[in-house]
Amino acid sequence: MKRKGFTLVELMVVVLIVGILASVAIPLLQGRIDSSKWSEANAGAGTIRTAIRAYFAENPTAAQALTGTLDVAATQAVLGFAATDLSGTYFVPGDYNIDSVNAQGIAVVTVTGGSLPASPAGSYTLAVNGAWTKN
């Protein structure tokens, strides 16, 4: 009578291979997860930039003076945001900071993470040329 099945050595080899694959895949996946979280911040920064461009078309001098975080109700009102418009899964209005607005009405916006429990750490800047770079 022949017995069918796997030997203990074969099972150990499979477990070893799965362990090696997991140790390589987990850091790669973590980087992708953080990248997707920062996509929310990039979209929010782009929305802020668009609102500033619209405000600049109506009031260029006042638009160039806009700086600071977006958790100030007066700044949100000037740009046409409701209190919850910039609140997302990983970022809140206080995470967005308008660094400057140039003579063409294009803003430099910095987003800093870490204020919410699941948000990624660090900060990124949406530059005048549209580049999204880690600080």
d(CA 66, CA 36): 29
pTM above 0.75, yes or no: yes
Beta bridge partners of 126: 109, 132
92 lies in a domain? yes
Average pLDDT over residues 113-118: 89
User: pLDDT band at residue 127, thresholds of 50, 70 and 90?
Assistant: very high
Residue 118 has pLDDT above 90, yes or no: no
* Residue 129: domain span: 8-134
98 lies in a domain? yes
d(CA 106, CA 60): 11
User: pLDDT band at residue 1, thresholds of 50, 70 and 90?
Assistant: low
d(CA 120, CA 112): 9
**Residue 121: which of 26, 29, 38 has the closest Cα?**
38
Q: For residue range 53-70, what is the model confidence (pLDDT) as tens digits?
A: 999 999 999 998 999 999
Average pLDDT over residues 40-44: 94
Q: For residue range 56-115, what is the model confidence (pLDDT) as tens digits?
A: 999 999 998 999 999 888 999 999 998 889 999 999 999 999 999 999 999 999 999 988
52 lies in a domain? yes
Give the total number of structural domains in the chain.
1
d(CA 129, CA 52): 15
27 lies in a domain? yes
111 lies in a domain? yes
